[in-house]
Chains A and B, each alone.
Chain A
Amino acid sequence: MKIERKLILSNIINGAFIILIGFFAFQNLNLVLTKLRFVEIADDLNASFLEMRLSEKNYFLYKDKQALVQIQSNIEKTLETIAGVRDDITRAIGETDLKELVAHLYAYAAVVEEARTTGSPADAQLETRLRAEGKGLKEFSDSITHLERKRVNDIILSSKWILIFSFWVILVSALFIGHFISQKILRSLREIVKLTKSISEGNFNRIEGFQSNDELGSVITAINSMSEELGHREEELIQSKKLASLGILTAGVAHELTNPLNNISMIAQTYAEVYDNLSEKDRIEFMQKVEGETERIRQIVKNLLDFSKPKDASPVEADINAVIQKTLTLVQNMIDVSNIETTVHLGDGLPHVFIDEHQMQQVLVNFVTNAVQATAAGGRIVISSRPGKNNGSVEISVADTGKGIPPEYLPHIFDPFFSTKGEGGTGLGLSVSYGIIKSHHGEIRVESKVGVGTTFTIELPQYSAQSQRQDNLTTEDKEVLELRQK
């Protein structure tokens, strides 16, 4: 369900709850009002009953039948009052209690009537009956009044508890729903932050395990497909950068081809010149020389073709020095043409690394090309390899005595499309190199001083059986592995 719908639903539920509580509170208040109205009436009646009892006492005290008439008039008034507010009373105390009250009144009236017409104040039996009826009426009336007061208290008390209870229910449910939804949003946001961070480091992963159909689900699906798309773009970028550096390389390699071609030309001309003086063995030697030179050409062309071929990254165990040597055959001529001195220091007995040779060549070609472009004729480029600072790692560096990179540019040199070469640069070389080294779990560093030179250093982890296994694993397997390590 969408988060928006969840929020609406939870609001509806809380709203309904509030309405329900309001309804109950309203009902209770109405009831309380009814009861209070009755208590008010009952107070009036009680006053009236009290008056009757007073007249009753006067009758026995002063033997005056006028007191009985007073009682009768009071009874009549009371019955009239009851008839006037009959509905209110029925609602408050019910039909039965009302009938009983009226019955008590009639019984009392009957005794009063009897006393007025036939009785005498000296009749002890009549006196007892009259007093008993009067007392009964007053007591009944008092008891219902008392009961109703108690009910009013009960209703108010229960309303209070319902209100307190529902306050907590609403508070807890609002907090719970709020917490649940915000937790879910935060969790996805954390995943998204993690993924974008890994994308910025060149790992185009996916967020797995989020199968919700809500807005977050759509955001995560969008981010996943973006990551995938970026991965494709990166591959395209690597290939296009490779083709760009191929252009530079081709110029250098073309020069390199001139040497064997010149040699073949020299051999052919000399062959024709000195043909008559050659023995058969000499002639065969001449042809072998031609063969040797064509083999040289073939190697140069093969190197170039190998470099240009688009290939999926296929890391293998490799000797980094061999890769450096192979790269040098591609760039040596470019360096020579620029009249720059090259020094190569390759460390002995370096641990093997787990790399894609072509991608690594691409990085090295990029470094050397940058170095050549930054260095004036007569400058120096030092290419070296040595054991790295981390356990078993290998460091490769390309240092030049070129113009250096201004400190304000340093933080940006690995950003895509950042270039200081004007129209000549695409601004992609170093960012592609960065991506390649990151995907090899390596580090890339740069030190530069304006006017002194620049050193690019790569640090690659040592080859191990585990690194090979890990690279062959599926994403799912990797997650399991990560969980286990945690």
Chain B
Amino acid sequence: MATSRIMVIDDEKIVGDMAKLSLEQDGYSVETFLNAEPALKRLQEEQFDVVVTDYKMKGIDGMEVLKTVKEHYPKTQVIMITAFANLDAAIEALRRDVHDFFPKPVKIKELKLSIKRALEKQA
């Protein structure tokens, strides 16, 4: 089985760095981005299995990312994390077929579990 590819988009560098460290330990291949624009460009080049994105970002936000991914790469699962417990955003994200929705601070173990389920769903 090929290594699953995971993309993490968050404007806080540490979030990406830490996610990368612990996910790579579990054998995933991880790429991190500080904003959505280069991340979406990268998606055109390579296929990713799971995209973990922050909801609130400058420029293109998490909801845009979800919309674009679901439109162009329906198989790719999206997990959204947000610092703001925003019910409306959560409902819209579910409507747009988000895989999971986490409030910050993210529990890494829960995130890993969610990624695992996303990969299973994809398979």
Contacts and interface: CB of A to CB of B under 8 A. Distances in A.
Nearest to B81: A262
Given A262-B15, A262-B83, A263-B12, A270 B107 contact: no
A337 B18 contact: no
Contacts of A258: 83, 104
Contacts of B22: 269-270, 273-274
Contact of A289 (B14, B19, B25, B109): B14
Nearest to A266: B18
Contact of A262 (B21, B25, B104, B109): B104
B107 A269 contact: yes
B106 interface: yes
Interface in B57-78: 58
Most interface-central of B12, B105, B109 (chain A CB within 10 A): B105
A270 B108 contact: yes
A269 B108 contact: yes
B5 interface: no
Interface in B7-26: 12, 14-15, 18-19, 21-22, 25
A265 interface: yes
Contacts of A266: 14-15, 18-19, 105-106, 108
B59 to A, nearest CB: 10
A403 B117 CA distance: 47
Interface in A262-306: 262-263, 265-267, 269-270, 273-274, 277, 289, 293
Contact of B18 (A261, A269, A277): A269
Interface in B78-94: 83-84
Contacts of A63: none
Contacts of B58: 336
A146 B83 CA distance: 126
A336 B104 CA distance: 17
Nearest to A289: B14
A265 B108 CA distance: 10
Interface residues of B, number: 18
A259 interface: yes
A255 interface: yes
A262 B16 CA distance: 12
Nearest to B106: A266
Contact of A270 (B18, B56, B84, B104): B18
Interface in A236-266: 255, 258-259, 261-263, 265-266
Interface string A147-160: 00000000000000
A270 B19 CA distance: 7
Contacts of B56: 336
Contacts of B12: 259, 262-263
B15 A263 contact: yes
A261 B14 contact: no
A8 to B, nearest CB: 78
B53 to A, nearest CB: 15
Contacts of A261: 105
A259 B25 contact: no
B84 A337 contact: yes
Given A262-B106, A265-B105, A269-B108, A277 B15 contact: no
A381 B25 CA distance: 44
Nearest to B57: A336
B105 A293 contact: no
A289 B107 CA distance: 18
A259 B11 CA distance: 10
A274 B106 contact: no
B84 A277 contact: no
B18 A267 contact: yes
A263 B19 CA distance: 11
A266 B110 CA distance: 12
Interface of A: 255, 258-259, 261-263, 265-267, 269-270, 273-274, 277, 289, 293, 336-337
Given A262-B15, A270-B19, 14 more contacts: A258-B83, A258-B104, A259-B12, A262-B83, A262-B106, A263-B12, A263-B14, A266-B14, A266-B15, A266-B19, A266-B105, A266-B106, A269-B107, A270-B18
> Which A-B residue pairs are the 3 nearest by beta carbons?
A265-B105, A270-B18, A266-B18
11 contacts: A255-B84, A259-B83, A262-B12, A262-B106, A263-B12, A266-B15, A266-B106, A269-B107, A269-B109, A270-B21, A273-B21
